[in-house]
A and B are shown apart, each in its own frame.
Chain A
């Protein structure tokens, strides 16, 4: 087999996005370094561009930081949960090898990153049309909420699209909708749990006008996402 067929070629990206399980089963079944590098490249490009568009609202420097941090969250989540995902799949009825489960998760994130990258120009245009956060002493909440909502919609769409395709692929690989559903939800839960904390550590992605533009906050490794959420709920209930 020639080296070229073991790499992710640009013209194969529509096949990946189309999500036809019969086409993708073979790709998911075999670990090929060239194709893995291709997936990583798409994740870095797509998620990086989207992160940069998101961060530009605060400042061009924040955009530059997000170009690195956004893909880093995705890749770190994939690698951090690789062993866990590899173990959960056979336990829940889908007999995958470790590399196959890693390949599936990478393919899913590649689809999401491609969608995010495609929406980066639209998000950048929206950001360009909103007053910049830089130079403001107070957060314009209406504008902030609008931008946040846009981010949520785009990221949710990318995630949903990717996971629908993963779901179809898992059904094709396992032959069982039940097993596929269990594997999908367990991977999602694990990735969300780790991904949320990684986002917390690597914050800010947008930043606040009252705080300086930094790659990481000084207290990045103090506290965690879930503590902050519980504390916020506690304050809300006690107020």
Chain B
């Protein structure tokens, strides 16, 4: 216990203008397309679909702020566009309320879960800095919402051809699950590149993120149907809300069947 009074070394910039050395994104060849900078949001959208490691590399590099901001903006816009499609089921107020709620709900869910993701990353021994974690979450939300845009035409067709809130809710949830899967796959790839000791914590966080988003859909209801108030008066767990909706649908169909039988 008589070592010199020095704290553990924090890696310092080796050269002016060069960021603190990070473990290299492996495996990447020097001069690979994955190292090419991403100049704008359109390239970012294309890259996250075709060359996700390019986005991961840029997020870990210097001057990633503009890219991260661009990805967040893209996520907000895309989620709002999908929200419009969600709102076309009921029309009226939902045409502006649904996109506002979808975009705000997604952003809020990401913000609520961001601190715990950073902690889990640190606990797993990952070398990811806070800005990198923010960047990976921005990439996750952008990829999710881009995929939702891809599902938007299908969702719209069903919106116009069914009266069932439950059916539309299930459809939107299915699209959301698929989009979230790919978004989380991107996040996982990002953390694999940061060379943590284990991925258990990240997987736990993914479960928390999914639960928070599911609860958020109930917290900002209605998204599909109509209600007297913009936001709910009664607080409910999302499973209770789904059960209530199913029960309501079953009861109304049973009543309709009884009326027809008479």
Taking Cβ atoms with an 8 Å cutoff, the residues of A that contact B are 1, 5-6, 9, 11-15, 17-20, 23-27, 29-30, 32, 35, 95-97, 100, 114-115, 117-122, 124-126, 128-131, 161, 173
Q: Closest B-chain residue to A121, C-beta based?
A: B112
A-B contact pairs, 29 of them (CB 8 A): A1-B6, A5-B7, A12-B10, A14-B129, A15-B8, A17-B123, A18-B123, A19-B123, A20-B125, A26-B3, A26-B5, A26-B6, A29-B3, A114-B119, A117-B115, A118-B115, A118-B116, A119-B116, A120-B115, A121-B111, A121-B112, A121-B113, A122-B112, A122-B208, A128-B219, A129-B219, A130-B235, A131-B235, A161-B123
A128: B residues at CB distance < 8 A: 219, 235
Is B1 within 8 A of A125, CB to CB?
no
Q: Is B250 positioned at the interface, with any CB of A under 8 Å from its CB?
A: no
Is B112 within 8 A of A125, CB to CB?
yes
B116: A residues at CB distance < 8 A: 118-119, 121-122
Describe A's contact surface by its main secondary structure. Answer: helix
Q: Closest B-chain residue to A165, C-beta based?
A: B123
Q: Is B118 positioned at the interface, with any CB of A under 8 Å from its CB?
A: yes
Q: Which 6 A-B pairs have the closest CB atoms?
A: A17-B122, A118-B119, A118-B115, A23-B8, A14-B122, A121-B112
Residue with the highest number of chain B CB atoms closer than 10 Å, among A13, A18, A29, A130: A18
Chain B proximity of A198: nearest CB distance (Å): 25
Q: Is B215 positioned at the interface, with any CB of A under 8 Å from its CB?
A: yes
Out of A20, A125, A173, name the residue touching B212 (CB < 8 Å): A125
Q: Is B96 positioned at the interface, with any CB of A under 8 Å from its CB?
A: no
Are A11 and B5 also in contact (CB < 8 A) when A125-B212, A130-B235 are?
no
- Chain B residues 101 to 129 lying within 8 A of chain A, measured CB to CB, are 111-113, 115-116, 118-119, 121-123, 125, 129
Q: Closest A-chain residue to B218, C-beta based?
A: A129
Q: How distant is the Cα of A14 from the Cα of B133 in the complex, in angstroms? A: 13
Is A24 within 8 A of B115, CB to CB?
no
B119: A residues at CB distance < 8 A: 17, 114-115, 118-119
B112: A residues at CB distance < 8 A: 121-122, 124-125
Chain A proximity of B203: nearest CB distance (Å): 14
